[in-house]
C-alpha cells in the first residue's frame, strides 16, 4: 500500500471508475476530481476525497492538486465533437500547469497506441500530443499507450457484442481487417497500478497490449464462436467513416460522432512495436479469447462495474445538471393510486429502461432514439448497467439519474438532443393502505424552438406518459400479488 496521495481525473469514466475501486481496495490515500461530486459520492468509500473541478477550467484545479503526489490522467474529449482536439489540448495544459504549481512528482497517463512515424488519426494524434504536453509540466510522466480495451461495458466490447448479436449477415468495411492488439481491462488496470511502484524517476512511454495481434473481424468471429452464433461477414471495398459511424449508431450503443472518431482510429494499425513494458512490469497479458470470455461472463450476469457511456463527457453536454428551476418550465404531472406498499409501487420504477423498457409504446421510444442518433445524440442504445440497482449518475437509455432515493424518488435528466432541458420524475408516497405514484415530466425550453418542440409533441407525450404510468401501476400490483 502506497502512502502517497493519489488524484484520479476521469473517475466517472470506464477506466477511471474501475481504477478507483482497485486503489480503494489497496488502501491508497485517494482523491477524485469531478465536475459533479454528488454523482460520484455514492460510488466511493467514505475516506476517498472528492474535489469539485473541471480540467477545462484551470481556476478549479488548485485545491485538488495541492499535496498530491501522483496524478492519474484518464481524461479525453472524444465525445465533444469536431472540437475534441482543442479541448484535449486545453485540458492537458491546465493539468500540466496545476501539477507544476503543486509540485506533483508523477503523472500516469493512458494514451492511444499507434506508430507516430506513420500517419495517425486525429484521435490518436491528439492522444500523443497530450502526452507531450503533460511531460512539459516537469513532472515524471509514465504514459501507457493501449489499443482496444476488452471488458464488460467497454466501448469496443459493446460495439463487438451489439454487431454480432444483432446482425446475422454483416457487410464489413476495410477497417474491420486492420491489425490491433487488444488488452483485457484487468491487465490494463494492473499496468496502471504497478506504475505507482515504478522505480525510476525518468519519464517513459510504454506500449501495452494483449498476447494476440488480431483485427476487429477476428474479435467478432471469436465472440460469435463463444456465443454459439453463426455469422456471415461480407467484405465491401468502400464504406466511409461517416457511413460506418451512422451504421454503427443504428445497431450498437455508439453515438454517431463517437463512432466516427473511433473508426478513424481503427483504420490505422495499433500494435505493440516496443515490448519494454513486458520487461519492466511483472504482467503477462492474456490473449483475446480469455479477455472476451471474461467480458461475456460479466455481461451474462447483466452487470458491469462501470460502462463507457457512464462518463459524463460521453453525453457531449455541458455540465448544467442542477435541479428543476422555476420560470418558464413546462410541466406534465399525473398520479395514480395503487393498493400496494411504497416498496412494491417503486419496484417497477427502479427497473425502468434497458431490457425492461418503458411500460408503454416501446417502439415509439426506439423511434425517438433513432431520430436522436441521426442528429448525433445518445439514442436509446446505451441501456443500463444493472437491471435493478440504481445510483446517482447512472445511465438509463437516453437519460441519466440525477437524484435517487430508494423506494421513494427517482429523477432522470435527458441526454437527448433537445431545444432545452428535460427531466422525468417519479415519486411514491404512502396513503393509508395504498401508495400514490406521481409521474412528472418537466421541460425547460430554450427559446421559441423549445416551445414549438413541446407543443408539437405534447399530444404524443400525453399518451406516452399516461400509458407509462398505467403500465407501472399494473406492474407493481402484479408484483405485490406474486409476492403474496
pLDDT (average), residues 333-341: 90
pTM of the model: 0.73
Q: Highest mean pLDDT: which of 251-265, 276-290, 298-312, 424-438? A: 276-290
Angle at which helix 447-483 crosses helix 342-350, to 10 degrees, equals 120
Q: Do 475 and 456 touch, CB atoms closer than 8 A?
A: no
pLDDT for the residue numbered 329: 66
Please say whether the beta carbons of 311 and 11 come within 8 A. no
Residue scoring higher pLDDT (11 or 378): 11
Average pLDDT score over residue span 418-436? 88
* Cα maximum dimension of the chain: 73
For the stretch 448-451, contacts whose Cβ atoms lie closer than 8 Å and that sit 24 or more positions apart, written own/partner, are 449/419, 450/418, 450/419, 450/420
More confident residue, 252 or 182: 182
* Separation between Cα atoms, residue 36 and residue 24, nearest integer Å: 20
Instruction: Using alpha carbons, list the distances in angstroms from residue 288 to 185, 243, 263, 293.
Output: 11, 28, 20, 8
Quote the strand ranges of 4-158, DSSP E.
5-9, 29-34, 49-52, 70-73, 106-112, 140-146, 149-150
- Identify which of 413, 411, 237, 220 has the alpha carbon closest to the alpha carbon of residue 312: 413
> How much is the average pLDDT of 342-347?
93
Greatest mean pLDDT among 4-8, 33-37, 334-338 lies in: 4-8
Q: Is the pLDDT of residue 160 over 80?
A: yes
Which is more confidently placed, 81 or 330?
A: 330
Is the pLDDT higher at 257 or at 71? 71
Burial 431-453 (b: 16+ CB within 10 A, else e): eeeebbbebbbbbbbeeeebbeb
Alpha helices in 81-237, H assignment, sequence order: 84-102, 122-135, 155-166, 185-194, 216-227
Q: Is the pLDDT of residue 123 over 90?
A: no
Give the angle subtended at the CA of 316 by the CAs of 361 and 455, to the nearest 5°: 45
Half-sphere exposure of 395 (CA within 13 A, CB side): 30
Which residue would you say has higher pLDDT here, 169 or 183? Answer: 183
For residues 333-366, b (16+ Cβ closer than 10 Å) or e, as one string?
eeebebebbbbbbbbbbbbbbbebbbbbbeeebb
pLDDT band for position 385 (50/70/90)?
confident
For 430, the enclosing helix (H) or strand (E) is strand 420-431
pLDDT digits (tens, 9 = 90+) for 128-155: 999 999 999 999 999 999 999 999 878 8
Calculate the alpha carbon distances from 378 to 236, 259, 395, 397 in Å. Answer: 28, 12, 11, 8
How many CA atoms are closer than 13 Å to the CA of 166, on its beta-carbon side? Answer: 14
pLDDT of residue 379: 77
Q: Please state the rounded mean pLDDT for residues 146-175.
A: 83
**CA–CA distances in Å: residue 145 to residues 131, 256, 257, 466:** 10, 25, 23, 50
Confidence class for position 321, pLDDT limits 50, 70, 90: very low
194 within 8 A of 285, measured Cβ to Cβ: no
Q: What is the mean pLDDT of residues 119-130?
A: 87
What integer is the mean pLDDT of 71-78?
Answer: 86
Q: Identify whether the C-beta of residue 245 lies closer than 8 Å to the C-beta of residue 256.
A: yes
In this predicted structure, what is the pLDDT of residue 326?
A: 32
Query: With b meaning 16 or more CB within 10 Å and e meaning fewer, what string describes 4-39?
Result: ebbbbbbbbbbbbbbbbeebeeeebbbbbbbbbeeb
pLDDT tens readout for residues 279-319: 999 999 999 999 999 998 886 554 444 544 444 444 443 33
Taking residues 342-352, report their average pLDDT.
93
The confidence score (pLDDT) of residue 309 equals 45
Q: First-to-last CA distance in the chain?
A: 50
Residue 266 pLDDT class (50, 70, 90 cuts): confident
Has residue 436 got a pLDDT over 60? yes
pLDDT value at residue 238: 65
Q: What is the pLDDT of residues 107-121, one digit of tens each?
A: 999 999 988 788 788
Helix/strand/coil percentages in the chain, nearest 5: 45, 20, 35
Q: What is the pLDDT of residue 300?
A: 57
**Domains by residue range for the chain, with CATH:** 5-308 (3.40.50.720), 320-483 (3.30.530.20)
pLDDT band at 323 (very low <50, low <70, confident <90, very high): very low
The answer to whether 439 touches 335, Cβ cutoff 8 Å, is: yes
Name residues whose C-beta falls within 8 Å of residue 303's C-beta, 6 or more positions apart in sequence.
152, 385, 386
At residue 264 the predicted structure's pLDDT band, cuts being 50, 70 and 90, is low
- Min mean pLDDT across 103-107, 326-330, 457-461 is at 326-330
Percent of the chain at pLDDT > 70 equals 84
Q: Which residue in 379, 386, 355 sits closest to 365, CA to CA?
A: 379
> Does residue 79 surpass a pLDDT of 90?
no
Q: Which three cell numbers stand for residue 32?
A: 477524485
For cell 448479436, name the residue: 165
Find the mean pLDDT for residues 338-357: 92
* Predicted pLDDT at 153: 79
Amino acid at each position: 500500500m502506497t502512502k502517497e496521495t493519489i488524484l484520479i481525473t476521469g473517475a466517472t469514466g470506464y477506466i477511471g471508475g474501475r481504477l478507483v475501486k482497485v486503489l480503494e481496495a489497496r488502501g491508497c490515500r485517494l482523491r477524485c476530481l469531478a465536475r459533479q461530486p454528488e454523482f460520484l459520492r455514492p460510488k466511493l468509500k467514505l475516506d476517498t476525497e472528492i474535489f469539485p473541478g473541471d480540467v477545462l477550467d484551470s481556476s478549479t484545479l488548485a485545491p485538488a492538486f495541492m499535496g498530491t503526489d501522483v496524478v492519474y490522467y484518464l481524461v479525453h474529449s472524444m465525445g465533444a465533437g469536431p472540437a475534441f482536439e482543442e479541448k484535449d489540448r486545453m485540458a492537458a495544459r491546465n493539468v500540466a500547469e496545476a501539477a507544476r504549481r503543486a509540485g506533483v512528482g508523477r503523472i500516469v497517463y493512458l494514451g492511444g497506441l499507434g506508430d507516430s512515424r506513420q500517419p495517425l488519426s486525429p484521435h490518436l494524434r491528439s492522444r500523443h500530443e497530450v502526452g507531450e504536453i503533460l511531460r512539459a509540466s516537469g513532472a515524471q510522466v509514465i504514459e501507457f499507450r493501449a489499443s482496444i480495451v476488452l471488458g464488460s461495458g467497454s466501448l469496443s466490447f459493446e460495439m463487438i457484442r451489439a454487431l454480432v448479436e444483432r446482425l446475422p449477415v454483416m457487410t464489413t468495411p476495410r477497417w474491420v481487417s486492420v491489425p490491433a492488439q487488444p488488452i483485457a481491462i484487468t491487465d490494463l488496470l494492473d499496468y496502471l497500478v504497478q506504475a505507482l511502484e515504478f522505480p525510476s524517476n525518468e519519464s517513459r512511454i510504454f506500449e501495452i497490449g494483449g498476447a494476440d495481434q488480431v483485427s476487429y473481424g477476428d474479435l467478432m468471429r471469436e465472440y460469435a464462436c463463444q456465443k454459439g452464433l453463426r455469422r456471415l461477414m461480407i467484405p465491401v471495398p468502400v464504406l466511409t467513416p461517416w457511413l460506418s459511424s451512422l451504421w454503427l449508431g443504428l445497431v450498437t450503443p455508439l453515438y454517431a460522432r463517437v463512432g466516427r472518431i473511433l473508426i478513424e482510429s481503427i483504420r490505422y494499425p495499433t500494435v505493440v512495436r516496443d515490448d519494454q513494458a513486458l520487461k519492466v512490469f511483472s504482467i503477462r497479458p492474456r490473449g483475446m479469447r480469455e479477455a472476451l470470455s471474461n467480458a461475456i461472463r460479466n455481461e451474462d450476469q447483466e452487470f458491469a462495474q462501470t460502462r463507457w457511456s457512464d462518463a459524463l463527457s460521453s453525453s457531449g453536454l455541458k455540465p448544467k445538471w442542477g435541479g428543476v428551476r422555476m420560470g418558464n418550465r413546462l410541466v406534465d404531472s399525473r398520479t395514480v393510486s395503487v393498493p400496494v406498499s411504497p416498496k412494491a409501487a417503486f419496484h417497477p420504477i427502479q427497473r425502468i429502461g434497458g431490457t425492461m423498457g418503458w411500460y408503454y409504446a416501446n417502439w415509439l421510444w426506439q423511434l425517438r432514439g433513432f431520430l436522436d442518433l441521426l442528429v448525433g445524440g445518445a439514442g436509446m442504445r446505451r441501456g443500463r448497467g444493472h437491471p435493478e440497482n440504481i445510483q446517482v449518475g447512472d445511465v438509463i437509455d437516453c437519460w441519466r439519474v440525477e437524484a435517487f432515493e430508494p423506494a421513494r424518488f427517482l429523477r432522470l435528466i435527458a441526454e437527448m438532443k433537445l431545444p432545452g432541458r428535460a427531466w422525468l420524475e417519479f415519486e411514491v408516497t404512502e396513503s393509508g393502505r395504498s401508495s400514490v405514484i406521481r409521474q412528472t415530466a418537466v421541460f425547460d425550453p430554450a427559446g421559441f424552438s423549445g416551445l414549438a418542440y413541446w407543443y408539437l409533441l405534447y399530444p404524443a407525450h400525453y399518451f406516452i406518459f399516461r400509458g407509462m404510468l398505467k403500465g407501472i401501476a399494473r406492474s407493481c400490483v402484479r408484483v405485490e400479488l406474486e409476492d403474496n
